[in-house]
Chain A
Amino acid sequence: MNKWTALAQKMSKWIILALTFIIIQLLIQVNIINDYLQATLATICINIILAVSLNLITGFTGQFSLGHAGFMSIGAYTCAIILLRMPTTWGFLAGIFGGALLAAVVGFLVGLPTLRLRGDYLAIATLGMSEIIRILFLNMEITNGAAGLSGIPRFTNWFYLFVFMIGTIIVITNFLKSSHGRACISIREDEIAAEAMGINTTRYKVTAFTIGAFCAGIAGALYAAYFYFVKPSTFGFLKSIDVLVIVVLGGMGSISGSILSAILLALISTILQDFSELRMILYALMLIIIMLFRPQGLMGSKEVSLKIFKNLLSYMPSRKEGQ
Chain B
Amino acid sequence: MEQLIQQVVNGISLGSIYALIALGYTMVYGIIKLINFAHGDIYMLGAYIGYFCMTTLHLGFLPSLLIAMVLCTLVGITIEKIAYKPLRNAARIAVLITAIGVSLFIEYGTMFFVGAGVRSYPAMTGLMVQKISLGSTVITMQQILIVAVTVVLMTILQFIVKKTRIGKAMRAVSLDNDAAQLMGINVDTTISFTFALGSALAGAAGILVGVYYNSINPLMGIMPGLKAFVAAVLGGIGIIPGAMIGGYLIGIVEVFVSGYGYSMYRDAVVFAILILILIIKPAGIMGRNTREKV
Contacts and interface: CB of A to CB of B under 8 A. Distances in A.
A135 B268 contact: yes
Interface in A282-298: 283-288, 291-292, 295
Nearest 10 CB-CB pairings of A with B: A287-B101, A128-B271, A284-B104, A284-B105, A280-B108, A288-B101, A135-B268, A291-B98, A113-B279, A295-B94
B19 interface: no
Interface residues of A, number: 41
A125 interface: yes
Contacts of A127: 226
Given A117-B278, A121-B278, A288-B102, 20 more contacts: A110-B275, A114-B275, A121-B233, A124-B229, A124-B230, A128-B226, A129-B275, A131-B271, A132-B271, A132-B272, A135-B264, A135-B267, A241-B100, A244-B97, A281-B112, A285-B101, A288-B98, A288-B101, A288-B105, A295-B94
A285 B109 CA distance: 11
Given A128-B271, A241-B100, A295-B94, A278 B87 contact: no
A120 interface: yes
A119 to B, nearest CB: 5
B265 interface: yes
B111 interface: yes
B96 interface: yes
B274 A241 contact: no
B275 A291 contact: no
Given A120-B35, A124-B274, A284-B105, A277 B282 contact: no
A124 B35 contact: yes
B98 A287 contact: yes
A284 B87 contact: no
A205 to B, nearest CB: 15
27 contacts: A58-B93, A114-B278, A119-B92, A119-B93, A120-B96, A121-B233, A124-B229, A125-B278, A128-B230, A128-B274, A128-B275, A131-B267, A132-B271, A136-B268, A277-B111, A280-B104, A280-B108, A281-B105, A284-B101, A284-B108, A284-B109, A285-B105, A287-B98, A287-B101, A288-B105, A291-B95, A292-B87
Contacts of A113: 275, 278-279
B112 A278 contact: yes
Interface string B63-91: 00000000000000000000100110011
A64 interface: yes
A212 interface: no
A287 B278 CA distance: 28
A229 interface: no
Nearest to A285: B105
Contacts of A139: 264-265
B222 interface: yes
A132 B226 CA distance: 13
B294 interface: yes
B275 A277 contact: no
Contact of B294 (A62, A114, A192, A248): A192
A interface: dominant SS: helix
B104 A277 contact: no
Given A64-B96, A113-B275, A121-B278, A277 B265 contact: no
A139 B271 CA distance: 16
B176 interface: no
Nearest to A112: B279
B292 interface: yes
Interface in B143-162: none
Contact of B90 (A117, A123, A131, A295): A295
B179 interface: no
Interface in A90-125: 110, 113-114, 117, 119-121, 123-125
A291 B103 CA distance: 14
Contacts of B222: 237
Contacts of A281: 104-105, 108-109, 112
Contacts of B59: none
B96 A123 contact: yes
A124 B233 contact: yes
Interface string B216-254: 000000100010011001000000000000000000000
A114 B102 CA distance: 26
Contacts of A278: 112
B101 A120 contact: no
